[in-house]
Amino acid sequence: MNRNKLHISQKKNGHSEDIGNAHIGTAYGTPIRDDAFELSEEEKMEKIEQHFKEIMNILGLDLKDDSLSGTPHRVAKMYVKEIFRGLNPENKPRVALFENKYGYRQMLVEKNITVHSTCEHHFLPIYGVAHVAYISSGKVIGLSKINRLVEYFSKRPQVQERLTIQIADELKRVLETEDIAVYIDAEHMCVKSRGIEDNQSSTVTTAYSGKFLNENVRAEFLQSIQSTR
């Protein structure tokens, strides 16, 4: 796990339960083909538009209706330019580090970062928040860059476990420190709107490394994200 400590739980009616072996996950790298970027974004949109039009036809929808006629194009643009834009490495945020001139050596916590992602099992939304912390090794990062990194890895088909690890690993690489904590609490529409249709549950995943493996440091982090503003 690249020295990350990953924990997965699901909250039901305010209580946390271990998901256990039944939870489906894959490798930490997004499963993407080597030829993923041979087509331009415009070519991808054109093909997706045609395929989605066929899906709508199979469902029996009337594409001559004014409300539906533009839907295939809108869906294609949404997939390529918006909700899956994180698949393209060209969209990865450029991150600059700054010297920690003020000598701040305690943890920095950026909490309640919006997470909008898509479940790769059913292509339904995942909504939630991420809380991120790090302890500087001599460098600091602009706060908005943390948000942008969370957004970048969220904008692709995901499982929450992978998303958590990808954010943690990238922050370790960028900040040149092992002292990273990531905590994501999210609701999955594939649980709420289909299947079990459970409107009360959410899923929590965490990744701890470096000093955050220490129980006291981890407790300080957890206390800080639970406190009110």
Catalytic residue flag (residue 121): yes
What CA–CA distance (Å, rounded) separates 179 from 137?
A: 8
Catalytic residue among 7, 46, 190, 220: 190
Q: In a 3-state reduction of DSSP, which class is residue 17?
A: strand
Residue length of the chain: 229
Q: In a 3-state reduction of DSSP, which class is residue 205?
A: strand
Is residue 208 within 8 Å of residue 8, measured between CB atoms? no
Catalytic residue flag (residue 188): yes
Give 197's contacts (C-beta < 8 A, 6+ positions apart): 191
Catalytic residue among 10, 110, 151, 160: 160
Catalytic residue among 41, 46, 122, 220: 122
What CA–CA distance (Å, rounded) separates 166 from 159?
A: 11
Catalytic residue among 110, 119, 158, 187: 119
Catalytic residue flag (residue 119): yes
Token pair in block for residue 14: 């305010």
Catalytic residue among 49, 120, 161, 178: 120
Catalytic residue among 42, 54, 82, 121: 121
Is residue 203 within 8 Å of residue 11, measured between CB atoms? yes
**β-pair partners for 180:** 134
Measure CA 203 to chain center.
Answer: 13
Token pair in block for residue 161: 């476990």
Catalytic residue flag (residue 160): yes
Annotated catalytic sites, by residue?
119-122, 160, 188, 190
